[in-house]
Amino acid sequence: MTENRDDVLVRVRDLKMHFPITQGIILQRQIGAVKAVDGLTFDIYRGETLGLVGESGCGKSTTGRALLQLYRPTAGQVIFDGQDLTRMKGEELRRMRRRMQMIFQDPYASLNPRMTVGNIIAEPMEVHGIASGKALRDRVQELLEVVGLNAYFINRYPHEFSGGQRQRIGVARALAVNPDFIVCDEPISALDVSIQAQIINLLEELQEKFNLTYLFIAHDLSVVRHISTRVAVMYLGKIVELTDRKELYENPLHPYTQALLSAVPIPDPEVEEKRQRIILVGDVPDPSNPPSGCNFQTRCPVMMPGKCDVEEPPFLDAGNGHQVACFRVVDAGGRVS
């Protein structure tokens, strides 16, 4: 997992994805919006894995789909290899989609039960006119073997496979068009723990073999620590902290990141006994009516009245590329005061 700071593959600037709330049956009018993604700015470097973590409903999956233009963003830019995807449509966007693929969360729902495995994997190649006939069949069998499945499974149906095998089929489908960038949308959360490590190892092997770039969406911080080059922490539609994985786990700056990491069990009884668990009070606010100022201020244990509930903290570099959005992060020492 090599990283070149000068070689940005995906550049995201002020990305917003707001879903309208309408009222009325015949004459519908918009009365509000669910701010699922609300102003994200980050880069993904060629060949790296950027982990995206946060609670359920914070906008992680919506971010992944907006990057691939499966959801057309409300505002902002998604610049893929120098080209702004948000300005593309029709045939131009379809050609670019060959370079971007997605591995979906639920292997039971993401595969068409009426299609054979061969047809599922072949479909993207047929859509983009990559292969046909015997060459297409040979390529499908090759992909099955690449993801660790028997090439003779080509005529079987999804219901004949286990969850882990189905996810391997989903991975093969994503690889079919030789993409540069893959969004992994919680690809192991629906699998047994014993199978999760196999899929993670497979993704790492494929990244090394094909020089892939991943956005790895998850809520399991231990998995993200294993596979990611850098990690972005998301809360209520915004990224609150972004840095490399070692720095994040050893020196978390944002109170929300600290709370998340305090919930991760450590397999050492002595360390676990001394560690202080941070319990957040209250629930995640409604994304259709986010709080004023900092989104986290309603649950933050170190919130400053008159500051955090009034102003939105800027997303700044606290040193060595460690970006954080918190008024309490001081320049000297880089800790939450």
- Beta strands 100-103; 230-235: pairing state: unpaired
One-letter amino acid identity for 3? E
- Which residues of the chain form beta strands (DSSP E)? 8-23, 29-45, 49-53, 75-80, 83-84, 100-103, 181-185, 213-218, 230-235, 238-244, 316-317, 323-324
pTM equals 0.90
Residue 234 has pLDDT above 80, yes or no: yes
Which of 304, 310, 299, 295 has its CA nearest to residue 329?
A: 304
Phi and psi, residue 276, nearest 5°: -95, 125
Residue 337 has pLDDT above 70, yes or no: no
Q: Is the pLDDT of residue 4 over 50?
A: no
Mean pLDDT value of segment 255-280 = 78
Predicted confidence (pLDDT) per residue in 124-155, tens digit = 999 998 888 999 999 999 999 999 999 999 99
Mean pLDDT of the chain, nearest integer:
89
CATH 3.40.50.1820 describes domain 8-99+179-324: no
The structural domains of the chain, with segments of one domain joined by +, span: 8-99+179-324, 110-178
DSSP category for residue 151:
G
pLDDT at residue 253, as a whole number: 93
Q: Which tens digit of pLDDT belongs to each residue from 69-117?
A: 999 999 999 999 999 999 998 899 999 989 999 999 888 899 999 999 9
Report the pLDDT value the prediction gives residue 78, as an integer from 0 to 100: 96
Are 121 and 143 in contact by the 8 Å Cβ rule? The answer is yes
User: Distance between CA 107 and CA 170 in Å, rounded?
Assistant: 7
- Name, in order, each residue with C-beta under 8 angstroms of 134's C-beta and a sequence gap of 6 or more: none
Contacts of 73 (CB under 8 A, 6+ apart): 15, 16, 17, 37, 66, 86
| Residue percentage of the chain with pLDDT more than 70 | 94
Residue 204 token pair: 């790492």
Percent of the chain with pLDDT over 90: 66
